Structure 1
Amino acid sequence: MQSATTNPVDHPKPVLDKPLMHYGSRVLERLAPGAEPSAYQHVEISPLTPHFGAVLGGVDLTGPIPDELAGELRQALLEWTVIFFRKQTAFTADHQLALSSVWGPPEPNPFFPRTGTAGVSRLAKDAKAAGDKNIWHSDHSFMTNPALGSVLRAVEVPAAGGDTMWADMAAAYDNLPEELRQRIEDLTAVHDWAPSWGALMNDEQKAEFRKLWPRVEHPVVVRHPRSGRRTLYVNEPFTTRIKGLSDTESRELLDILVLQARIPEYQVRFRWEAGSIAIWDNIATQHYAINDYFPQRRVMERIAVAGVPLS
Structure 2
Amino acid sequence: MSQAVPMPDAAPFTISPLTPAIGAEISGVDLSKPMSASLLASLREALLEWKVIFFRDQDITTEEHLAFARQFGELEVHPFAPHKEGYPEVLAITHDKDRPGRENVWHSDVTWRTCPSLGSVLRAIEVPDVGGDTLFSDMYAAYEGLSDEVKEKVEGAVAIHDFAHFRALMKKMGKTPEEIEEMNKAYPMVEHPVIRTHPETGRKGIYVNAAFTQHIVGLERSESDALLAHLYAQAAIPEYQCRFRWQENSVAFWDNRACQHYAVSDYWPAVRRMERVTIIGDRPR
Is the structural similarity TM-score above 0.5?
yes
Per-residue CA deviations over 1:263-308 (Å, capped at 9, x if unaligned) read 1111110000111000000011111111111111011000110110
Q: 1:242 maps to what in 2? A: 216
Superposition pairs for residues 145-184 of structure 1, below 5 Å?
145-184=115-154
Q: For structure 1, which runs of at least 5 residues remain unmatched after alignment? A: 1-36
Distance 2:103 2:56 in 1: 27
Q: CA shift at 1:39, angstroms?
A: 4.0
User: Of residues 202, 206, 218 in structure 2, which corresponds to 1:232?
Assistant: 206
Which residue number corresponds to residue 185 of structure 2? 211
Q: Which residue of 2 aligns with 1:221?
A: 195
User: Hey, what does 2:261 align to over in structure 1?
Assistant: 287
TM-score by length of 2: 0.92
Q: In 2, Cα distance between the equivalents of 1:77 and 1:127?
A: 34
Aligned to 1:60: 30
Runs of 5+ unmatched residues, structure 2: 1-6
Computing the radius of gyration over CA atoms, which structure comes out larger, 1 or 2? 1
Q: Partners in 2 of 1:132 and 1:292 — Cα distance?
A: 10
When residues 38 and 173 of structure 1 are mapped into structure 2, their CA distance, relative to the original with a 3 A threshold, is farther
RMSD after superposition: 1.6
> Do the aligned residues in 1 keep the contact of 2:132 with 2:265 (CA within 8 Å)?
yes
Give the 3 Å change call, closer, same or farther, for CA 285–40 of structure 1 in structure 2: farther
Given residue 272 of structure 1, which amino acid in structure 2 is its aligned partner?
Answer: W
Match of 1:300 in 2: 274
What are the superposed Cα offsets for residues 52-94 of structure 1, whole Å, 9 maximum, x if unpaired? 10000011111111112111111110111100000112x1111
Instruction: Tell me whether 1:107 sits opposite 2:81 in the alignment.
Output: no
Relative to its length, the structure with more strand (as a share) is: 2
What is the alpha-carbon distance in structure 1 between the residues aligned to residue 102 and residue 37 of structure 2? Answer: 42
Tell me if structure 1 keeps the 8 A contact 2:21–2:138. no
Counterpart residue number, 2:230:
256
2:124 aligned counterpart, secondary structure: strand
Using the size of structure 1 for normalisation, the TM-score is 0.84
Q: Secondary structure at the match of 2:87?
A: coil
1:94 aligned residue? 63
Identity across aligned pairs (percent)? 47
Instruction: Map Cα deviations across residues 171-192 of structure 1 (whole Å, 9 max, x no partner).
Output: 0000000111111011010000
Greater helix fraction, Structure 1 or Structure 2: 2
- Distance in 2 between residues matched to 1:197 and 1:118, nearest whole Å: 18
Indicate the SS of the match to 1:256.
helix
Q: Determine which of 126, 142, 148 is the counterpart of 2:96.
A: 126
Shift of 1:206: 2.4
